[in-house]
Structure 1
Amino acid sequence: MAKAGPASVEFRNVSMRYGAVTAVDDISFTIEAGTLVTLLGPSGCGKTTTLRMIAGLEIASEGQILIGGRDVTRLSAADRDVSMVFQSYALFPHMSVLENAAYGPTVKGLGKEKSREMALEKLALVGLKGFESRYPSELSGGQQQRVAVARALVLEPQVLLFDEPLSNLDAKLRRRVREEIRELQQDLNLTVAYVTHDQEEALAVSDRIIVMSNARIAQEGAPRALYEAPANAFVADFIGDANLIDVTIASVADGRAAVAIGSATVSLPARELGPGPAKVAIRPESLLLSETTGPDSLPGTVRKCAYLGNHLDIMIETEVGELFVVQYGHHDMWKPGTPVNLAFADSGVTLIPPN
């Protein structure tokens, strides 16, 4: 059965309404063929509804959805070449691993032998060779997840969808399974749309991230770009930890802004902002503790210090409020009450609009 290979997904001004409630509000984006794009955001932001619209489990109220350049807006789930891995895995408890994996081709009437052959191939691919005769209740959470992935892959869909696929796994297993999903996606050149509310997971697996907030797209881009250059306070705070501080831009020249952060003055990329009030998002690892004072450093006092193995978590009281600092490496503990000065690293200190 020759397949067309991975396909792009495009949303053009898509909205989804349930009565008076707008779950998704006029969103447009493209998932390039063969890439993994994550829809990231808090509960109720519209990410799962968006995924279900790709799958055809929800039909958009407005706008156009294209898969591989073909308009599928009004097509049912059965008429789209898309497979979904659900949060609950949705395995059939009375069926063996092999029967679960062969379910799709069997239902499509491809015959028992062909269905079995296709299922065996995909089970081997996800590392479940030898588990074919087991039942879901005899498998670990990670193994159940792999059966669900094999079952979704068996018909070689143009687009594979994951809805919070790791939320039922413990932290250590989560890391391993997300690496497996990423490797599989890259090895097989799959187009994947992946939904999560876990920003670390999104940073680890994605080619691009679409951050959603209140039914709209807050920002989209490569993981590093979102982390290092958030568009607003919501994105800065949602992707990684950030100290958000109200500041004043004193002047702008040649794309650089002179910014007053309390009594310190620092030079930052202006990011198209002009003089006046703004906010600055500072990553905890971008605040550097030093003994020396200077015009570009902020005086403070250590309030708390916690040892977390490979780093220290430190809370510093300053004139602009309490700031959270992370110090990596083996440093001595800071005693509460110790006066310090905070300098600002070259990266991870970003101007954002004031609201």
Structure 2
Amino acid sequence: MPKAGPASVAFRNVSMRYGAVTAVDNVSFSIEAGKLVTLLGPSGCGKTTTLRMIAGLEIASEGQILIGDKDVTRLSAADRDVSMVFQSYALFPHMNVLENAAYGPTVKGLPKAKAQEMALEKLALVGLKGFEKRFPSELSGGQQQRVAVARALVLEPQVLLFDEPLSNLDAKLRRRVREEIRELQQTLNLTVAYVTHDQEEALAVSDRIIVMSNSRIAQEGTPRQLYEEPADAFVADFIGDANMVDVTVKSVADGRAAVAIGPANVSLAARGLQPGPAKAAIRPQSLLVSRHESQGTLPGSVRKCAYLGNHLDLMIETAVGELFVISHDVDDMLLPGTPVWLSFASSGVILVP
């Protein structure tokens, strides 16, 4: 029987309650077949519970969950065509790599030779050809992660789920493994729901991101939409660093706003705001530092300057508060107390509704 291929996932007004605690509150979203969508948010926001409801490891208190066109709301994990890669990898220590990868089809009652053939194919896919006889304890963290992915892929599920898959890896390896996961997802045309609290990871791997806060969806969109058009201060600050600053919208015309940031004036997309007090999110790399005063700049004084190899991290005291600035002029170490003037790049300064 041929496999069904990737399937879409849809949540319709789904809630999850544990007694008096609401872990997920009336959430609706969809994941297109063959896309990677990340659930992103701080600890306790409801993202892992949402993932576990897709898996059938938690049964929703209310609402409807669809995989493909099939209502799976009340189905157990065993009756859903999904596989999950856990944060801890959950490999069996007494089984070698091949046995671990062949576990799913073996449990489903396939002949041992067939199960191993399926497992070998997926191990080759994740670059573990030749590692079949090793045990998990003989593998690096990155290799264990790949065994877990191969094991999840063996049954060619309609939906593949990842729960914080990189959190046990060091920073360099994390970048490599996330690229591998993304490549695999695109090559095999998999539907993937991916949970992380790491915004850089989410920006790097996702077709779309669903940002969760306090058991609800704060915003969803492409990585670029969330970064360039955050719906509120929470999203602006969570996706990429942002300085949240009080500003004044002086006038609005043709969708553009004349905005005063302290003594400086800028023109920004109005985003539906009217004249009056407002908030702006200013990305650290959108503040341009000069030692010379010029028209329309924001004066400030350097409080801290740290050298980070390819850039400087600066804290600059200004009329609108202390601003975090990233400068790529690494040759100009600015001593505390140095007077500077800040101007604004054409992107990365955003009015927040």
CA contact under 8 A between 1:265 and 1:295: conserved in structure 2? Answer: no
Q: Which residue of 1 aligns with 2:186?
A: 186
3-state SS, counterpart of residue 149 of structure 1:
helix
Q: Which residue of 1 aligns with 2:105?
A: 105
Q: Does 1:156 align with 2:148?
A: no
Q: Distance in 2 between matches of 1:293 and 1:308?
A: 26
Counting only pairs closer than 5 Å after superposition, residues 120-131 of structure 1 correspond to structure 2 as: 120-131=120-131
Q: Distance in 1 between matches of 2:53 and 2:320?
A: 44
Give the count of matched residue pairs. 353
| Structure 2: unaligned runs, 5 residues or longer | none
Counting only pairs closer than 5 Å after superposition, residues 254-269 of structure 1 correspond to structure 2 as: 254-269=254-269
Q: Does 1:236 align with 2:201?
A: no
Q: Distance in 2 between matches of 1:105 and 1:66?
A: 24
Once the 2 structures are TM-superposed, how far is the Cα of residue 331 of structure 1 from its aligned partner? 3.2
Q: Distance in 1 between matches of 2:180 and 2:258?
A: 45
Q: Which residue of 1 aligns with 2:323?
A: 323
Q: Distance in 2 between matches of 1:229 and 1:339?
A: 32
Does the C-alpha gap of structure 1 residues 290 and 263 become closer, same or farther in structure 2, counting only changes over 3 Å? same
In the superposition, the TM-score normalised over structure 2's length comes to 0.98
3-state SS, counterpart of residue 66 of structure 1:
strand
Cα displacement string for residues 181-213 of structure 1 (whole angstroms, at most 9, x for unaligned residues): 011001100000000001111111111110000
Q: Distance in 1 between matches of 2:293 and 2:205?
A: 41
CA contact under 8 A between 1:236 and 1:242: conserved in structure 2? Answer: yes
Q: Which residue of 2 aligns with 1:200?
A: 200
Once the 2 structures are TM-superposed, how far is the Cα of residue 266 of structure 1 from its aligned partner? 1.2
Once the 2 structures are TM-superposed, how far is the Cα of residue 291 of structure 1 from its aligned partner? 3.7
Structure 1 counterpart of 2:219, one-letter code:
Q
Once the 2 structures are TM-superposed, how far is the Cα of residue 292 of structure 1 from its aligned partner? 4.1
RMSD: 1.0
Once the 2 structures are TM-superposed, how far is the Cα of residue 46 of structure 1 from its aligned partner? 0.1
Once the 2 structures are TM-superposed, how far is the Cα of residue 166 of structure 1 from its aligned partner? 0.6
CA contact under 8 A between 1:87 and 1:163: conserved in structure 2? Answer: yes
Q: Which residue of 1 aligns with 2:132?
A: 132
Q: Distance in 2 between matches of 1:290 and 1:35?
A: 44
3-state SS, counterpart of residue 147 of structure 2:
helix
Q: Distance in 2 between matches of 1:279 and 1:14?
A: 32
3-state SS, counterpart of residue 119 of structure 1:
helix
Counting only pairs closer than 5 Å after superposition, residues 1-355 of structure 1 correspond to structure 2 as: 1-353=1-353
Structure 2 counterpart of 1:101, one-letter code:
A
3-state SS, counterpart of residue 33 of structure 1:
coil
Structure 2 counterpart of 1:270, one-letter code:
A
Once the 2 structures are TM-superposed, how far is the Cα of residue 330 of structure 1 from its aligned partner? 3.8
3-state SS, counterpart of residue 236 of structure 1:
helix
Once the 2 structures are TM-superposed, how far is the Cα of residue 290 of structure 1 from its aligned partner? 2.1
| Structure 1: unaligned runs, 5 residues or longer | none
Cα displacement string for residues 101-148 of structure 1 (whole angstroms, at most 9, x for unaligned residues): 000000001111110100000000000000001111111100000000
CA contact under 8 A between 2:307 and 2:330: conserved in structure 1? Answer: no
Cα displacement string for residues 199-243 of structure 1 (whole angstroms, at most 9, x for unaligned residues): 111111111110000000001111111111111111111111110
Q: Distance in 1 between matches of 2:337 and 2:105?
A: 67
CA contact under 8 A between 1:247 and 1:262: conserved in structure 2? Answer: yes
Structure 1 counterpart of 2:198, one-letter code:
D
Moved over 6 A (4+): none
Once the 2 structures are TM-superposed, how far is the Cα of residue 329 of structure 1 from its aligned partner? 4.8
Structure 1 counterpart of 2:79, one-letter code:
D
3-state SS, counterpart of residue 179 of structure 2:
helix
In the superposition, the TM-score normalised over structure 1's length comes to 0.98
3-state SS, counterpart of residue 236 of structure 2:
helix
